Structures are given as structure tokens and as C-alpha cells.
A and B are shown apart, each in its own frame.
Chain A
Amino acid sequence: MVLTRLFFVLSTAVLLFGCASQSKTADQLRDNVKRNVTFSSREVFEVKKPYRQVSDTLRKKWLECLDSTATGSIHRGGNTFGTLTNIYKPKVAVTDRRTELTLQHKQTGAGVTQLGGPPPEGFFIIVTDVYPADKNTSRVDVQKHMPGYAGVMKAIRNWAEGTSMACPDLAQ
């Protein structure tokens, strides 16, 4: 019982710390990355492929691989277990000049409260912008506001470069 209480106290502390500046829009995420807030990072790279080709591949894989639900159970001490469900919502907006790929994240579970008033489909955790750098080169700008997700970052680069079309396991 003591461990259960401790778990809830720690969980709440983590949630409070984490939600202080969680991104509710794609622009807010970009702004948070620009201000270098905690748990934000950015990766920009270019690929020698036309914009349309990179945009098409990333759009397809983004919607295919990141439309996912990951469930985990954790031991809270004694015979008490908690279940956490992470729901991911990928979205894409394409124009001739830019492809915007966003990933939203929502967490549910017994005793789990996402503070900070998350949007209905969750906080924005990754925003990827693809631009034409020149006729045969595309620039990919990946901005993240959440710890972890190295697998997603690796997958985006793989998809853009065409080295692998595998999906990242969002439960890992």
C-alpha cells in the first residue's frame, strides 16, 4: 500500500514536471524546440531525392506505422499492477512547398491523468517538416518534444533515405 501511494506521488510529480510546457499545437512544439525547453530536440538532414518522392514516402509510412496503440503494465508493489495505454495519432498536411507530419500522443489508464489540458487527440510530441531544398534535394526537419522515441527518429531517416521501410515499435 505504501509503495502504491509512492507510485502515485511519483507519477503525479513526473506528470506535473512533464506537462509544464507540453505542446498543444505543432507551432507550439516548434516554439518549444526553438526555446530549447526540457526534453526537446531537433534533427535536420538532407536527402538527394526530389521533394515529391520524399514527401510521398514519409506520408505513407507516417500514417501506416505511427497509427498505433502501445500498452504496458507496471508492477506497483505487492500484488498491484497498473496498465498504461499510449495512443498515437499521426496526421499529414501536404502542399507544394512543405509537408507537415505531426504525431500526437494520449495516455490513458487507471489513475492516470494527463495534466495541462491535452487536446482531444493528445499532446504534439513530434513534428516533421519536409521542404524542397532544390530540384533533386529535400530537407527533412524533425522536431521532438518528449524524451525517448529514438526508434521513431531512426525510422524517419530510414524512410527518407530509403534504407529501410520498417516501422518503429512504439512500445519500446
Chain B
Amino acid sequence: MRRRTRRGPTLPKPVWLLLFGGILAGCSGLPAYESDLPANLNVRTRLSSPSVLLTAPLAGSFDAYLHLTAVDRRCQKNYRGSVKLGGTVVSVGIPADQPSYLVFEFSGRSLLTRGSASSTYATLLTPRSGHQYDVDVAYADEMYSITVYERNPRSGLRREVERRPFSACKPN
């Protein structure tokens, strides 16, 4: 009769699956964006998962992230960190009068299919000092919209800011 040898602690498969799911759901592994600047970028997000496989009851997830990259005078990028976008308004401070490259990412993961998919939308934004930037992010029915508004807190005036591709950055 073969003797079973113990090779360390073992966990039942469902427990491993739950742990793996927890890691997928909770740890994106992205460095958090940190800034001491006063908040001038306010992101409001509404997300609706494109598939039932990407919902928590089926051990899936569907999230949105904002990746922030500083852009210098030579149009060189310097990634500064990311924030997870959620149900509440997320406010961060980005440098005024210099361009920042904002990349919005929609990311879905499924534990059942063990697959993932993500897509991105990017824009170059140069905030003006003394202004606030409100971003509406919405995802539903496999369609999304991202709208950036510039708001002057003193006058209350608000206007939509057109998307600018990175190629619009000109070294100076």
C-alpha cells in the first residue's frame, strides 16, 4: 500500500477558486495615483457589465480605471499612477497648465472562462489653473461615452472639452 505523503497545507479547490477570485477582484496591481495638488479632476462613473460572466455572482468582475500620465515639454510621457473608478465621484489633482495624458480603461475578467478583456480611450488634457474638470464616464450595452467638461467655479460657466489624441502634443 502506498503511503500518502503530506507536502504542506492543502486547501479544497473551491477555496482556491474563491481566493483567486478575491485577488482578481481586489488587487489590480496598479500603482495608486498620488498627488498633493488640489483636486481639479472629478470623475463620475456609471458602469453596467456587458456580460453576466463579468459579474460577482459568477466570479467575474467589470471595472473602470483611469491611468494618469504626465507629459513634459518634449512630449515625453511619465506614468504617474492609476485610480479605480467607482460608484462615487473620484477627485484627483493634476498639474495645471501642463498636459496630462488620461487613459480610461474598461476591464472585464471572468473566473469561469479564465479570460479577460480590456479596452481603452485616451485623451490629452491641459487643465487651466483655477478651473475644474468634470468627467462623465458611462458604460452600458457594450457602448461607452466619456465626456470632459471644463468648469469655471467663479462664473459657473461650463463647456465641453474635445478629445485630443496624443499626436496633438507638440514639443516646445
Contact = CB atoms under 8 A, between A and B. Distances in A.
A172 B116 CA distance: 11
A65 B143 CA distance: 10
Contact of B117 (A67, A68, A72, A151): A72
A142 to B, nearest CB: 17
B144 A167 contact: yes
A72 B116 contact: yes
Nearest to A167: B144
A167 B121 contact: yes
Query: For the side of the interface on A, what is the size category?
Result: 20 to 34
Interface stretch (A12-20, A35-43, A73-81, A91-99): A73-81
A73 B117 CA distance: 6
Interface in A120-172: 151, 154-155, 164-172
A85 to B, nearest CB: 10
A72 B115 contact: yes
A70 interface: yes
Contact of A167 (B50, B108, B118, B143): B143
Q: Main SS of the interface on chain A? A: mixed
B145 interface: yes
A65 B121 CA distance: 7
A75 B113 contact: yes
A117 to B, nearest CB: 26
A64 B114 CA distance: 31
Contact of A169 (B122, B144, B165): B144
B142 A169 contact: yes
Interface string A46-78: 000000000000000001110111111111000
A7 B165 CA distance: 37
B143 A169 contact: yes
B143 A171 contact: no
Interface of A: 63-65, 67-75, 81, 151, 154-155, 164-172
Given A69-B120, A164-B143, 14 more contacts: A63-B165, A65-B121, A70-B117, A70-B119, A75-B113, A154-B143, A167-B144, A167-B145, A169-B106, A169-B139, A169-B144, A171-B118, A171-B119, A172-B117
